[in-house]
Amino acid sequence: MKVNSSAAAALMGRKTRGVLPGFGLTLGYTMVYLSLLVLIPISAVFIRSSSGGWAHFWEVVTAPRVLASLRLSFGASLVAASINVVFGLIVSWVLVRYTFPFKRFIDGMVDLPFALPTAVAGIALTALYAPNGWLGAWLKPLGIEVAFTPLGIVVALTFIGMPFVVRTLQPVLEELDREVEQAAASLGASPLQAFCRVIFPALWPALLTGFALAFARAIGEYGSVIFIAGNMPMRSEIAPLLIVAKLEQYDYAGATAIAVVMLVLSFAIMFGINALQNWAASRHGER
């Protein structure tokens, strides 16, 4: 019995041993990795932005051209992420709940914005929505201009952000038990009531995650936007393009100042979204 108990203890010790090294070593590697890739570069941006002094920093970030580009970048990103939440939910629902011809092909097309170089996507969208393009030629008589306008920026950001929402929602929809919907229907709930009271609360945390990912991706987008935006100051010039323009003028303090403002605003928005996501997850867990 003593032999068996000692063998069992040794076996339990082996089972509790993890594949990776201990907490201290893995935490050290994690902190070094994050410091090299995230903390040190971000700190360098803050330090470089203060090289011109607070007066120069404030003068740069409050310039009308900079404020217009920041409003356009964040506003277009919010609109594009919101559009992706609505239509990304529809696309993921169709891919999970229905069987139809060429389903695998359509499912693979969702990942196309991931694999397609952003510059290629920008050129393709510009050729499509330009006044003489396939769709632009039909939209122009209706008074709808897409290319070289803020609307074109929203289209480009929606294109590159769509996979984030779809791929975030698909696993949740696949794990969602359909018997709950059937139980709601048997109790007299209409399809709309079943969706609002049963399905949507379960999807809410994943929707917020997809929105956050699409929004974060859209804020820093550059390649697919510069071709379709037209890059007109005060009208269709995004903040990343303005940063590049200042770097080309060797105004490193001005470029990093704009980058700091984008970083702070992005962090504040993402922090709010994460707090809302945690609150929604906790409410769903209580139910």
What would the pLDDT profile of 89-137 be if each residue is shown by its tens digit?
999 999 988 888 988 999 989 988 888 888 888 899 999 998 888 898 8
Q: Residue 250: left if φ>0, alpha if ψ -120 to 50, beta else—which one?
A: left
CATH classification code of 54-286? 1.10.3720.10
Structure tokens at 127: 């050729």
Q: What is the distance between the alpha carbons of residues 232 and 224, in angstroms, rounded to a whole number?
A: 16
Mean of per-residue pLDDT scores for the chain: 84
Return the ∠ at Cα 49 (arms to 48 and 54), rounded to 5°.
130
Structure tokens at 190: 């209409």
Q: What is the distance between the alpha carbons of residues 73 and 90, in angstroms, rounded to a whole number?
A: 26
> For the whole prediction, is pTM greater than 0.85?
no
Q: Angle 239-248/64-97 helices, nearest 10 degrees? A: 130
Domains of the chain, residue spans: 22-51, 54-286
Q: What is the distance between the alpha carbons of residues 236 and 135, in angstroms, rounded to a whole number?
A: 20
pLDDT at 157 over 50: yes
The pLDDT of 225-245, averaged and rounded, is 89
> Using an 8 Å Cβ cutoff, are 170 and 92 in contact?
yes
The pLDDT of 216-224, averaged and rounded, is 89
For residue 46, the Cα-to-chain-centroid distance in whole angstroms is: 24
pLDDT at 78 over 90: yes
Separation in Å, CA 148 to CA 6, 66, 78, 118, 166: 75, 19, 19, 17, 28
Please report which helix (H) or strand (E) contains residue 122, including its range: helix 118-129
Identify the pLDDT of residue 91: 93
CA dihedral (168, 170, 172, 173) positive or negative = positive
The pLDDT of 5-12, averaged and rounded, is 51
Candidates 242, 213, 208; CA nearest to 225 is 242
First to last CA, the chain: 48
- Reported as a pLDDT band with limits 50, 70 and 90, residue 261 is very high
Q: What is the dihedral of CA 175, 108, 167, 264, to 10 degrees?
A: 180
pLDDT at 68 over 90: yes
Structure tokens at 244: 């590049």
Identify the pLDDT of residue 2: 46
